[in-house]
Amino acid sequence: MIKSTLIKSFVLLIALVTFLACQENKVKEINFPPTDLGSENLIPKPLKIIPTHNAFGLDHTTAIYTSQSDKSFEGVGSYLADKIKSKTNLRLPVNAADAGKVSRMIFINQSDSEELEGPEAYQLYISKDSIIVNAKTSEGAFRGIQTLRQLIPETSNDTLAEMPLWPIPTGKILDEPNFEFRGSMLDVARHFFSVDDVKKYIDILAYYKINVLHLHLTDDQGWRIEIKSWPKLTEVGGSTEVGGEAGGFFTQEDYKELVAYAQQRYMMIIPEIDMPGHTNAASVSYPILNGNGKTPELYEGTSVGFSTFDTRKDTIYSFVDDVIREISAITPGPYIHIGGDESHVTKKNDYIYFVNKVEKIVQKYGKQMIGWDEVATADLDSTSIAQFWASRENVEEAVQKGMKVILSPATKAYLDMQYDTLSKYGLHWAAYIPVDTAYVWSPDSYAGIPKESILGVEAPLWSETISNIDELEYLAFPRVIGYSELSWSTEENRNWDDFKVRLANQAPYLDRMNVKYYPSELIDWKKSKFSYKEIEKD
Residues 233-292 touching ligand TNX, rule: CB under 6 A, are none
Residue 504 binds ligand TNX (CB under 6 A): no
* Identity of the residue, 359 or 464, whose beta carbon is nearer to ligand TNX in the bound complex: 464
Q: How many residues does the chain have?
A: 538
Helix crossing, 195-207 with 469-476: angle to 10°? 30
Select from 129, 154, 341, 485 the one that contacts ligand TNX (CB under 6 A): 341
Burial pattern 513-527, b for ≥16 Cβ within 10 A else e, equals bebbbbebeebebbe
207 binds ligand TNX (CB under 6 A): no
- 304 touching ligand TNX, by CB under 6 A: yes
Q: How far is the CB of 389 from ligand TNX (least distance, A)?
A: 4
The reply to whether 416 sits near ligand TNX by the rule CB under 6 A is yes
Helical ranges in 179-251 per DSSP H? 195-207, 232-235
Strand 181-187 vs strand 454-461: parallel, antiparallel, or unpaired? parallel
> Are 506 and 457 within 8 A, CB to CB?
no
Q: Is residue 474 a contact point for ligand TNX (CB under 6 A)?
A: no
What's the gap between Cα 318 and its chain centre?
A: 33
* Residue with Cβ nearer ligand TNX (324 or 338): 338
| Sheet containing strand 122-126, strands side by side | 48-58, 166-175, 122-126, 130-135, 104-110, 62-66
What DSSP letter does each residue of 494-524 carry, written as one string? --HHHHHHHHHTTHHHHHHTT------TTS-
Of 63 and 336, which CB lies nearer to ligand TNX in the complex structure?
A: 336
Among 342, 359, 473, 511, binds ligand TNX (CB under 6 A): 342
Q: Does 345 bind ligand TNX (CB under 6 A)?
A: no
Count other C-beta atoms under 10 Å from residue 216's C-beta: 24
Q: Report in angstroms how near the CB of residue 227 gets to ligand TNX at its nearest.
A: 21
Interface with ligand TNX includes 193 (CB under 6 A)? no
Minimal distance, residue 371 CB to ligand TNX, in Å = 9
Give 22: exposed, middle or buried? Use CB within 10 Å, 0-12, 13-18, 19+: exposed
**Closest distance of CB 249 from ligand TNX, Å:** 19
Do 413 and 462 touch, CB atoms closer than 8 A? no
Nearest approach in angstroms of CB 189 to ligand TNX is 9
Q: What is the CA radius of gyration of the chain?
A: 25
Nearer to ligand TNX, 462 or 488 (CB): 462
Contact yes or no for 515/481 (Cβ under 8 A)? no
75, 140 contact by CB (below 8 A):
no
The minimum distance between CB 271 and ligand TNX, in angstroms, equals 15
**Minimum distance from residue 166 beta carbon to ligand TNX (Å):** 42
Choose between 223 and 509: whose C-beta lies nearer to ligand TNX: 223
Coil, strand or helix: which one is 310? coil
CA–CA gap between residue 485 and residue 135 (Å, rounded): 20
Instruction: Considering the complex, state which of residue 23 and residue 437 has its C-beta at the smaller distance from ligand TNX.
Output: 437
Is residue 508 reached through a cis peptide bond, with omega within 30 degrees of 0 on the bond before it? Answer: no
Provide the 3-class DSSP secondary structure of residue 20. Answer: helix
- The 3-state DSSP class for residue 124 equals strand
Q: Per rule CB under 6 A, is residue 427 in the interface with ligand TNX?
A: yes
Give the Cα separation of 158 and 285 in Å (integer). 62
Any idea which residues carry the catalytic annotation? Answer: 342
> Is residue 372 part of the contact set for ligand TNX (CB under 6 A)?
yes
Which residue lies nearer to ligand TNX by CB, 414 or 446? 414
> Which string of x and - marks every residue 441-470 that binds ligand TNX (by CB under 6 A)?
---------------------x-x------
**Torsion sign across C-alpha atoms 6, 9, 13, 19:** positive
43 versus 413: smaller Cβ distance to ligand TNX: 413
Shorter beta-carbon distance to ligand TNX: residue 177 or 409: 409
389 binds ligand TNX (CB under 6 A): yes
| CB of 343 vs ligand TNX, minimal distance in Å | 11
Smallest distance from ligand TNX to CB 338, Å: 12
For 284, how many CA atoms within 13 A lie in the half-sphere containing its CB?
Answer: 22
Binding mask 71-110 for ligand TNX (x = CB under 6 A): ----------------------------------------
At closest approach, how far in Å is the CB of 184 from ligand TNX?
14
* Count of residues near ligand TNX by CB under 6 A: 10
Residue number with CB closer to ligand TNX (116 or 449): 449
User: What's phi and psi for 405, nearest 5 deg?
Assistant: -125, 135
CA nearest 470: which of 537, 517, 418, 523?
Answer: 517
Reference 439, options 501, 387, 392, 388; nearest CA is 501
- Measured CA to CA, the distance from residue 517 to residue 201 in angstroms comes to 12
Q: Which residues bind ligand TNX (CB under 6 A)?
A: 304, 341-342, 372, 389, 414, 416, 427, 462, 464
